[in-house]
Structure 1
Amino acid sequence: MKRSQIRNLIALAAISALALGAAGGWFAATLLAVAENPAFFWSGSALIVLFVVGALYAIHRFMRAFLLDVRALAEAGRLLLGPNPERRVVPRGHPDVADLATVFNSLADRYVELQGERASEIRQARADLEEERNQLAALMSELTEGVLVCNLDGQILLYNRGARSMLDGDGTSYVGLGRSVFGVIDRSAIAHALEQVQVRYQRREGEAGARPVMTSFVTASARGRLLRTRLAPFANQAGDLRGYVVTLQDMSEGIERSSRRDALLQTLTERMRAAVGAIRAAIEAVESFPEMATAQRHRFQQVIYEESQSLSAQLDQTMRSYASDLRAQWRLEDIHATDLIWAIEHHLADRLHCEVVLDAIDDRLWVKIDSYTLV
């Protein structure tokens, strides 16, 4: 009940009391004027006083039952919803108001019980979430690859030490919770990869046994190292994309191995060309002059033997010194042919403003390629 309504009721009660008093005084004066017997006058006056007292008592009961006690219920309700949820109301006053107070206390008990259950569920959910997060962090920390978890705006939600060591500069930290992934990875590369995975994700919706959506590209870190990057989206229960996971692998060592392997191949080619040339010349001389003297034939055979031994030693030394380099391979990623053609078509239309006409493409065709570098 509003304060203005309470004031109006109090004013009405006061006016009623004054009216009763005035009526009683008028009735007493009338009795005094017409009554010749004083006993009759005092008896009538006593009745008037009793009537006025009874009326005032009834007004008091009304005020207490329907104003003060109800107001106490309202105050208790505000305390229940605020700082003191354990506050209860003592049932008193008018029976109807007492019943209302009892119902209020029952509702308050149930409310506190539900609040406790809800708080317990929230604590359990937080504990489960924290446990899952710790497990995920432990798994990520064991990975040799760097891992970044980002939302669609590029804000980093989770990362591991591998990602931080690959992407941070010398003495400068670029990776952190809440920071933008575009500060450590080329924005155009991320945008290209996101565009690809979004199209693939839309295509695979509703398909049974569809391949996981993923794309890859190569980018450079702040320290100038080349990183092979894989990007895969994740969605909520409704199927809406909520972000993406980026895995990073340092490819600089592999590229350096490839460079050393190329240099080794060139060196071996030059050395083997000379040795093979000497062996070939010796064999041609022996074949051309079958009546050659024994001593001269022996010298040619010695040349063939020494050159072959030298070749064998060079090959053995190369295999021992460059075994890891010879095993290095530049890894390319699987990509659906239609996705590759779509990327090329989109790039040509965007950059050259030309119309691209496509022939039929075999849906079963997959190729190994780095689409970002190609486009």
Structure 2
Amino acid sequence: MKAKYRFIAAIVVLALLMTGPFVVTSLLVWLDMKDAERTMLTELLLSRLPVGTLMTLFGFAIGAAVLHKLFKQYVEGLLRMAETLRLMLGANRDFRVTPDGPPEVRQLAQAANDLAAQRDALMDDVDAQIARAKASVEEEKNRLAALMSELAQAVVVCNLDGRILLYNNRARLQFKALAQGPTSVSGGALIGLGRSIFSILDKGQVEHAREVIVQRLAAGKMPMAHFITTTRGGQLLRVQMVPVMAGEGGLSGYVLTVENITRSIEEEERRDQALHTLTQGSRSAIGNIRAAVANLLDYPDMEPELRERFLRVIDDEVARRSVVIDQTMSQFSDSMKTRWPLEDILGIDVIAAAQRRIEDKLKLPTKTEELDDALWMRADSYSLIFALGFLASKLQDHYAPRELRFRLSSEGRLAYLDLIWSGPAMSSETFYTWEMEVMQFGSETSPLTLREVIDRHGGEIWYQREKAAHRAFFRFVLPVATPETEAAPEERRVTGRPEYYDFDLFKFEDASIDLDRKLSELAYTVFDTETTGLEPSNGDEIIQIGAARIVNNRLLRQEVFNQIVDPERPLRPEGIPIHGITEDMVRGQPTIDVVLPAFHEFCEETVLIAHNAAFDMRFLQLKEERTGIRFGQPVLDTLLLSAVAHPNQESHKLDDIMTRLGVVIGKRHNALEDALATGEVFLKLVPLLEEQGIVTVRQALEASEKTYFARVKY
């Protein structure tokens, strides 16, 4: 529109410049005429006024038509050509200018197409040279990918913020099987590029394992840590962590190998229970049987009544044992107890980590004395260090010691870890209360009590006074472990197939939605819905939600959400040929009450993207009161962004935008496929918007609001 106004203004100025001399000359002649001549001229003009007026109006009409035609052919045509040229330079190199309009414009279009063809030939040559240079690198990457694909263990690589930047197929399948609650809808998984590992594993345990690795690196030891954790569904996972080293000895991330040990622990528990059940009472039963058999052998001529009594004893004992065996076989699986798997850890590492946490959180000085630096313990280091911090916090609150001391020794198969302080005597009732209390250390709370931690270690704890030294200590009695032989450094090569990877995410710092961050830096969820109709306010319902994620400027086609929804109302027959969803397909599917929380969890911490987003968002907003789910993140609309990038194009339908940008997708009018198409369109639009100075989410939202299409309401 601005170009049109400028064109009209230029024509008006040109007309004034052309008619200006004639007007001035006429005015001078009029002033030089006599009164009689002026009267005669006036009468002549008035008699010809109607005809002159008609001719003037006709001339203006012809002029306006000519101006409009010239504007359409030259100005608008050249503007569309400019947008097309930008498309050819950036988003779609195969796009070409359509020769249209006057001969001069057609010649210019043909020249532009010829230049584009030459440019493509040069780019093809450059691409071929780059491909040859990258061939060896790709070969190494594919070899790494193949190796990782065959690993039996789940492997996850994270940056220092806990953002996932690599995982293999085994990890995807394992965490998909662990999904509980809303995540389990649509085959959801807990894992995804750019997502936080802390949604799967406890953050405190992961950070503690990092501290152990940093400490072992500083001590020149093998940088490795282990811990056991539980998922939201109660599954037990054994996790091993090794660092990803950066330059100058720093850490850029860590590699986690995860193993679900729930089944093995349950099987071991079942074996223990079965063994206990079978052996309980067996000694006395066997003794009775042996005694009866001995009497029968020693007295072959005993009376028949007495012989019958001994045989009955044998029969009764054997029958009772048979009953016990039968009951064990049928019932032992229902009487399992959860055991807490323990790992081998160096005792001084536990003490060092406990000292650091106590000094950081409580500002309480700590020292050590009489440490056995070669002593290995069988323990869960996270819960043990939490227990030490809990006791230190209690001592500080009730007895205000000036410092705490640690001591580590062993006797036979037992390790003694002492927490020592100077102060008044403590009553046994106070210590018992602390044992049974749920532990809290600073702002962190554990669901376990001190007694539960000790019991899970199969150990003991007691309080003892050193009267001569006027001090007291808590003694942790823990099992001693023999460390396994560490592999040589050259044997510990990290291999594996990064089927789901993005190494650039090592630089990914934060997933929070910052409107002033670049469009290319944020994580997105691009989604689409299929519905029973086009009137959400009049009862139409969602029947499918499809979505995919964009992370680090890449559309992740393997991390998708695709769920058909039971609308709890009949489908419109005229809509079935469009979306292809029938009554049989929606029957028995989850309702929107179940699907919407799962979709909300899928798109957490991301910006939403949709085509004609006002339509889809209206359906979601109308379900806020019913489901309690609100989508409060920013929403970008590819329809509006296309209007911003190409304001002179006549159509901004998704199909037309795809054609302009060179996006090719499979079948359409399927929510997931439409979402994938919208994602590809968005990625093509980002560089085009940046050329106009629109580089942040805030700028994209503000530009979208100024378009005509932003006024459409549903």
What value does the CA root-mean-square deviation take over the aligned residues?
4.5
Aligned with 2:151 (options 143, 146, 156):
143
In structure 2, runs of 5+ residues without a counterpart are: 1-125, 333-338, 386-714
CA distance, structure 1, for counterparts of residue 235 and residue 241 of structure 2: 18
Compute the displacement of 1:292 (Å).
8.9
Compute the displacement of 1:190 (Å).
0.9
Q: 1:334-366, CA deviations, whole angstroms, 9 ceiling, x for partnerless residues?
A: 322211222233344456665443223333333
The equivalent residue for 2:224 is 214
CA distance, structure 1, for counterparts of residue 218 and residue 275 of structure 2: 46
The answer as to whether partners of 1:149 and 1:156 remain within 8 angstroms in 2 is yes
The answer as to whether partners of 1:155 and 1:180 remain within 8 angstroms in 2 is yes
Compute the displacement of 1:201 (Å).
1.1
The equivalent residue for 1:357 is 367
Aligned with 1:345 (options 343, 352, 355):
355
In structure 1, runs of 5+ residues without a counterpart are: 1-117, 205-209, 323-328
Compute the displacement of 1:220 (Å).
2.2
The equivalent residue for 2:168 is 160
TM-score, L = length of structure 2: 0.30
The equivalent residue for 1:199 is 215
The equivalent residue for 1:177 is 193
Match of 2:219, SS state, is: helix
The structure in which a higher percent of residues are helix is 1
Q: Does 1:252 align with 2:268?
A: no
Q: Following superposition of structure 1 onto structure 2, how do residues 315-354 of structure 1 map, counting pairs within 5 Å?
A: 332-349=342-359, 354=364
The answer as to whether partners of 2:159 and 2:252 remain within 8 angstroms in 1 is yes
Q: Does 1:133 align with 2:141?
A: yes
Cα distance change, pair 152–362 in 1 and its aligned pair in 2 (3 A): same
CA distance, structure 2, for counterparts of residue 254 and residue 264 of structure 1: 15
Q: Does 1:226 align with 2:229?
A: no
Cα distance change, pair 215–138 in 1 and its aligned pair in 2 (3 A): same
CA distance, structure 2, for counterparts of residue 161 and residue 264 of structure 1: 37
Compute the displacement of 1:230 (Å).
0.8
Which structure is larger by alpha-carbon Rg, 1 or 2? 1
The answer as to whether partners of 1:167 and 1:223 remain within 8 angstroms in 2 is no
Match of 2:369, SS state, is: coil
The answer as to whether partners of 1:254 and 1:330 remain within 8 angstroms in 2 is no
Aligned with 1:188 (options 190, 201, 204):
204
Q: Does 1:235 align with 2:251?
A: no
Query: Does 248-257 or 333-342 show the bigger shift?
Result: 333-342
Aligned with 1:369 (options 366, 379, 389):
379
The structure in which a higher percent of residues are strand is 2
CA distance, structure 1, for counterparts of residue 231 and residue 157 of structure 2: 17
Cα distance change, pair 314–189 in 1 and its aligned pair in 2 (3 A): same
CA distance, structure 2, for counterparts of residue 150 and residue 359 of structure 1: 38
In structure 1, what residue type is equivalent to 2:173? S
Match of 2:249, SS state, is: coil
Cα distance change, pair 213–121 in 1 and its aligned pair in 2 (3 A): farther
The answer as to whether partners of 1:197 and 1:233 remain within 8 angstroms in 2 is yes
Q: 1:182-206, CA deviations, whole angstroms, 9 ceiling, x for partnerless residues?
A: 22211111111111111111221xx
Query: Does 159-168 or 330-339 show the bigger shift?
Result: 330-339
CA distance, structure 2, for counterparts of residue 347 and residue 134 of structure 1: 43
Q: 1:148-199, CA deviations, whole angstroms, 9 ceiling, x for partnerless residues?
A: 0111121212101222223232232331222221222111111111111111
Q: 1:243-274, CA deviations, whole angstroms, 9 ceiling, x for partnerless residues?
A: 11001000110222233234323422445266
The answer as to whether partners of 1:167 and 1:222 remain within 8 angstroms in 2 is no
Aligned with 2:302 (options 290, 293, 299):
293
Query: Does 185-194 or 167-176 show the bigger shift?
Result: 167-176
Aligned with 1:264 (options 274, 280, 288):
274
Cα distance change, pair 255–125 in 1 and its aligned pair in 2 (3 A): farther
Query: Does 298-307 or 132-141 show the bigger shift?
Result: 298-307
The equivalent residue for 2:66 is none
Between Structure 1 and Structure 2, how many residues are aligned?
250
The equivalent residue for 2:453 is none
TM-score, L = length of structure 1: 0.53
